[in-house]
Structure 1
Amino acid sequence: MQDVTFANGEVELAGSLRVPVEADPPVGGVVLVGGSGPTDRDNGTYFQPIQQHLAEAGFAVLSYDKRGVGRSSGDWRAATMDDLAADAVAALSFLRAQPEVRRQAAGLFGHSEGGWVALRASSARGDLPWVVTNSCPGVSPAEQERYALGNHLKVLHGDGHPEVRRTLTLYDQLAEAGRRNADFSTAQQLVDNAGAPPGLAYYWGDVDERLWSFLKRKQDHDPTPDLLQLRCPHLALFGGADSTVPVADSIRVFAAAACHSARLHRATLTVEVLPGGDHRLQTEGSAALVPGYLAKVSRWLTSHVTPSTGGSS
């Protein structure tokens, strides 16, 4: 493991590179792209067992602090999806430039929001062997946040409680305010006028002017155009007990894109739903990953970097 830095324009990104010491170079490579918010190179602690497993499976692994987090410069709240995708491409280019890495066998693994980022970065390139999305919504951020908030409110109040409907109505009003490009004070007034229902803090608790600008900018991001433009095999992983992402709806979107006539034949889709897994593919109430999850990832990746497979699924 070594600390590294690389640049995307004026933004300097810092990360960690792990190269397997016992594998015969050159090896395959994986760039891990973190989820929403101020995610560091370990995505909290979530990426650590993934990094270790992939290295033991013979892959070089690079993860990095999101711009404006840890040792990376810039500000993720001022970024667009294209900016974040360009950061991921810069990370991939850096990894591919390492002498231990086989260039044509390195790709992107994006968790949650990082899945949108990885899809955007992958859709623009024809030289990737694969892309992996992990708990990546097939719906827009606005729809995904509403789903997550609704599940949170049901835990607080019970399904069908008037407070659930009232808070979700306020959320819808905030989403519409974002589409009108309302400023933060206008959005905050909506919250204040509604009495700032406690359950809304799940979504609104950390929102300030800069974060509101970021949320407005990304709330209607549609992953479908990127899915249609994919030129490589796609592994989509989900936890069956994920209360943050609408898994069934997301799978339908991914499958519809894979069946579309515009999708290249090489851009196959493999979906894995792990029963009992939450948004981080961990078992409920535990930091332990769902049994079999890591093995599924490394087996699929290995099958797509072995020359004899021809990149099919």
Structure 2
Amino acid sequence: MSGGVLSGEALSENVTFTNAGVVLAGSLSLPEGGAPVPGVVMVGGSGPSDRDNDTHFPPIRRHLVDAGIAVLSYDKRGVGGSSGDWLDATIDDLASDAAAALDFLRARPEVRGEAAGLFGHSEGGWVVLRATALRDDVPWVVTNGGPGTTPAVQDRYDLANALRRTEGITDDEVDAALAGYDRVVEAGRRDADFAEAARIAQSPPTAFSEHAAEVDERLWRFLKRKQDHDPIPDALLLRCPHLVIFGAADHVVPVADSVHLFTTAACDPRRDPRATLTVEVFPGADHRVQTDGGTRLAPGYLGALTRWITARTDEQAA
């Protein structure tokens, strides 16, 4: 289904599509002109991400549309106009939503279905890799700040960096906090309930305890479900080109480890030869590949992204 034109984007529509009983609401932005064009589904990051991934996606969307690429992005389950609840979802559920979005985009007459791929930011990287691994008709996939590690490893890295940026904290206090985090992760692997996890997080109290206090019971169930999701088996199953993008100053994701893991997977003899890997790391850029305190996308980012997608879609047309 589709509805009125969105203000500020003359060729953008509010759309809805369904997946497993969930109604997902989003925006479809189309280039001007009548010929069918390539397309991309943009999948947001963790938490209650909407179709714009707050302010992150609009400048990327505008650039892609100006380059002749249709863009579909959507509100995560339970966010904005979408039904359901992301806290009840698994990575597989979210990947199924991304696949449904891709099918919806491909069904549009304005879009060259065979040239429509997936873009996932942060958690969305895990999601689009899973969606791509489960089907053989995705022509290309982009992970943007998407970890090559599990969520548990990535969250530990994020926590360590956040603590080390805290004024007045000592190395011993950081180590104690990380040990507390590790105990909670192990509790999740035992399927501990929320009360047990909360006790572990506070015993003994550490700098991690304050972070853990922000987690409620429903979020705990969600986090322990996904904490050991490993994207590398999905990377090994890819049958299409993969673009990996990072900011070199990303404090949220372990970039060097992620690049190593994705590169190792790409060199594995079991991987399909069509699954080429391109890695772009932008100096000084953060988790969203932004610079200047998050006020603008890194120089060269939009051009590199668009050139790579265009090259893949040209290959599809050849």
TM-score normalised by the chain length of structure 2: 0.93
Work out which of the residue numbers 41, 58, 72 in structure 1 matches 2:68.
58
Which runs of structure 1 show a deviation greater than 3 angstroms over 4 or more consecutive aligned residues? 157-160, 197-201, 307-310
Partner of 1:95: 105
Work out which of the residue numbers 232, 238, 250 in structure 1 matches 2:258.
250
Residue type matched to 1:8 in 2?
Answer: N
Unaligned 5+ runs, structure 1? none
* Compared CA separation, residues 107 and 81, structure 1 to 2 (3 A): same
Residue type matched to 2:272 in 1?
Answer: L
The range that moved more, 184-193 or 32-41, is 184-193
1:301 paired to 2:309 = yes
Aligned ranges 1:1-313 → 2 under 5 Å = 1-22=12-33, 24-157=34-167, 161-195=171-205, 197-198=206-207, 200-201=209-210, 203-307=211-315
Q: Is the 8 A contact 1:157 1:164 kept in 2?
A: no
* 1:161 to partner: Cα distance: 2.0
Partner of 2:6: none
| Equivalent residues, number | 307
Between the aligned partners of 1:99 and 1:12, the Cα distance in structure 2 is 22
Between the aligned partners of 1:308 and 1:143, the Cα distance in structure 2 is 36
Unaligned 5+ runs, structure 2? 1-11
Q: Which secondary structure state, in structure 1, belongs to the residue aligned with residue 186 of structure 2?
A: helix
* Compared CA separation, residues 161 and 284, structure 1 to 2 (3 A): farther
Q: Is the 8 A contact 1:27 1:59 kept in 2?
A: yes
Between the aligned partners of 1:218 and 1:93, the Cα distance in structure 2 is 25
* 1:194 to partner: Cα distance: 2.3
* Compared CA separation, residues 149 and 200, structure 1 to 2 (3 A): farther
Q: CA RMSD in A?
A: 1.5
TM-score normalised by the chain length of structure 1: 0.95
* 1:206 to partner: Cα distance: 3.2
* 1:192 to partner: Cα distance: 2.7
Sequence identity percentage: 59
* 1:305 to partner: Cα distance: 0.3
* 1:170 to partner: Cα distance: 0.6
Q: Is the 8 A contact 1:149 1:200 kept in 2?
A: no
Q: Which secondary structure state, in structure 2, belongs to the residue aligned with residue 261 of structure 1?
A: coil
Q: Is the 8 A contact 1:13 1:72 kept in 2?
A: yes
The one-character-per-residue Cα deviations of 1:202-261 (angstroms, maximum 9, x if unpaired) are x43531111100100000011111000000000000000001000000001001110111
* 1:308 to partner: Cα distance: 7.3
